[in-house]
Amino acid sequence: MKLKRRFFYRLIPFLVLATSGCGSLNTHLSIPEKEIPASFPKQKNAASVANVNWRQYFADPVLVQLIDAAIKNNIDLQVALQRIEMSRSSVKLANGALLPKVGLAVGGGVQKFGLYTMDGAGNASTEITPGRIVPENLTDIYVGLQASWEVDVWGKLRNQRKVALSQYLATMEGTHFVISNLVADVAIHYSELLALDNTLEIIRATLQKQQEALDVIKIQKEAGRANELAVQQFKAQLLESQTLEKNVLQQISETENKINFLLGRYPQPIERKKEILFSAIPQQISSGLPSQLLANRPDVREAEYQIEASKFDLEAAKAAFFPNFNITAALGFQAFNPEFLFTSPASLAYSLMGTLVAPLINMNALKAQFNTAKANQLTAMHNYQKTILNGYVEVVNQLSMIENLQKIHSAKERQSVVLKKSVETSKELYKTARATYLEVLIAQQSALQANLELIDVIKQQRLAAVNIYKALGGGWR
């Protein structure tokens, strides 16, 4: 008993020396937080379209079918799902570190001691069994269980398990963010494809009218009412529109392939109806409250879990400064001859040992690890604030765009109607020699440009409806 006390008293200065620098390791970190505005500009509706399932938000059955195929086959999403599996395995590994490690050990060997040694001389005069001296070549056979266990006195292993769990949850949210972006990307490219289809239709209708105008001007030239310059100008305009048609055809092909890539398949035609572009677009988007971004946006929640993981990682780094307490044990049968291995109680062998190991020499390495974990936590906090700010700015930008695009759409519609009439008027005036061919060319070009701009505005409205849905945190449910 006195010996145990003496050992304990001698151990105390050792532990004090090992842990003397740990009191200054502060794990309670914070940064100034930016308060989230109570509402979005000009928005007071507490409901948010982010809570609407994307199948209801995108009413087009063709688009819904494309998104379904993308979620099933997209390669980036498959990679993200595998990251979830890796994170889940990390959680299981961290849970296993808290439990004792037990294994079955089967081993054997042979050893010969020199005669003129303490072991050799002792063996030469010692009976290993009644009437039998220890053999010169001594075999050793062991069958049994061996166990080791690190007792988590300071919570290092428990914090590492919490790190793995938080990172797993962050990975889940990261996958939700991939799904949200995937849904939005398919919808965006699909809207662009519909806009290109309608652009191509307008260009081809314009080409037909320009061809008719060219034919008329050629007849007038033969009748002496027009000159070669007029013919060349009309022909140049026709060639420009034909070039524009080829460019649009190339854009259609590339956009189809972008969708096919998102769907994880090789290029093939995308079935669609171009008239869908003009279907009803929401005039008012329910944006909800900025605070709802914290619950709806997967990237915000991912950043939040990263903060949790960094906090536990910092606690684990602090615990590394304290001594490790390990217990090792073994229980089995050991003999020099297999026939005595299980038949004799004397073959039973066991051991039990506890060790306490405190860091001394590598303190600088532990401090560097602690400082790294500290910087990681502060970085995670700043990234969280940045993610919230970015989400708020995205929503405000899209709300403003939706409002302004509605006004632009109205103006472009009126402009398109006026310029369409101007084309007909210029033709009639040209027939009666009250307008020049240049005025006809300008009217045609202006009408084409106005129609193309109108299609582009409609496309931008549909893209804004998709982007606001994603910005509010929709698309992953």
What Å distances lie between residue 152 and 160, 164, 362, CA to CA? 11, 16, 21
Determine the 3-state secondary structure of 361 from DSSP: coil
- What is the spatial distance between Cα 156 and Cα 140, in angstroms, rounded to a whole number? 39
Q: Which of 299, 316, 350, 326 is nearest to 184 (CA)?
A: 299
pLDDT tens digits in sequence order for the chain, 477 residues long: 444 445 444 555 545 444 555 557 888 898 998 889 988 888 777 788 899 999 999 989 999 999 999 999 999 999 999 999 999 999 999 999 999 999 999 999 999 888 888 888 888 888 787 878 888 888 899 999 999 999 999 999 999 999 999 999 999 999 999 999 999 999 999 999 999 999 999 999 999 988 988 898 898 888 888 888 888 998 999 999 999 999 999 999 999 999 999 999 999 999 999 999 988 776 567 888 999 999 999 999 999 999 999 999 999 999 999 999 999 999 999 988 888 888 878 889 999 999 988 888 878 899 999 999 999 999 999 999 999 999 999 999 999 999 999 999 999 999 999 998 998 888 888 777 787 888 888 888 999 999 999 999 999 999 999 999 999 999 898
- What is the spatial distance between Cα 210 and Cα 18, in angstroms, rounded to a whole number? 90
Q: Which of 356, 5, 362 is nearest to 153 (CA)?
A: 356
Q: Which of 135, 146, 149 is nearest to 100 (CA)?
A: 149
- What is the spatial distance between Cα 474 and Cα 477, in angstroms, rounded to a whole number? 7
- What is the spatial distance between Cα 386 and Cα 364, in angstroms, rounded to a whole number? 33
Beta carbons within 8 Å of 389's beta carbon, 6+ residues apart:
34
Please say whether the beta carbons of 256 and 272 come within 8 A: no
Determine the 3-state secondary structure of 307 from DSSP: helix
Please report how many Cα atoms fall inside a 13 Å half-sphere around the Cα of residue 200, on the Cβ side. Answer: 17
Question: DSSP H helical segments within 74-106, as ranges?
Answer: 75-97
Q: What is the largest CA-CA distance in the chain?
A: 139
What pLDDT, on the 0 to 100 scale, is given for residue 21? 52
What pLDDT, on the 0 to 100 scale, is given for residue 437? 80
Q: Which residue reads 């395995």 in tokens?
A: 89
DSSP category for residue 14: H
What pLDDT, on the 0 to 100 scale, is given for residue 3? 44
- What is the spatial distance between Cα 329 and Cα 153, in angstroms, rounded to a whole number? 19
Is the backbone of residue 286 left (phi > 0), alpha (psi -120 to 50) or beta? beta
Joined tokens for residue 185: 């990307």
What Å distances lie between residue 462 and 50, 63, 187, CA to CA? 16, 13, 9
DSSP category for residue 355: E
What pLDDT, on the 0 to 100 scale, is given for residue 424? 87
Joined tokens for residue 436: 């020049």
Joined tokens for residue 166: 């938080």
Fold of 22-98+152-323+363-471: Outer membrane efflux proteins (OEP) (1.20.1600)
Beta carbons within 8 Å of 53's beta carbon, 6+ residues apart:
477
CA atoms 112, 113, 114, 115: torsion sign: negative
Q: Which residue reads 């290029």 in tokens?
A: 267
- What is the spatial distance between Cα 298 and Cα 302, in angstroms, rounded to a whole number? 6
DSSP category for residue 287: B
Please say whether the beta carbons of 184 and 475 come within 8 A: yes
Please say whether the beta carbons of 391 and 467 come within 8 A: no
- What is the spatial distance between Cα 312 and Cα 433, in angstroms, rounded to a whole number? 85
What pLDDT, on the 0 to 100 scale, is given for residue 9? 47
Joined tokens for residue 442: 């300008």
- Sequential DSSP letters for 104-146: EEEEEEEEE--TTSHHHHHHHT-EEETTEEPPSEEEEEEEEEE
DSSP category for residue 226: S
CA atoms 292, 295, 300, 306: torsion sign: positive
Instruction: Using only the alpha carbons of the chain, give its radius of gyration.
Output: 39
Residue 83 exposed, middle or buried by CB count within 10 Å (0-12, 13-18, 19+): middle
- What is the spatial distance between Cα 312 and Cα 315, in angstroms, rounded to a whole number? 5
Please say whether the beta carbons of 148 and 352 come within 8 A: no
- What is the spatial distance between Cα 366 and Cα 324, in angstroms, rounded to a whole number? 14
* pTM of the entire predicted model: 0.87
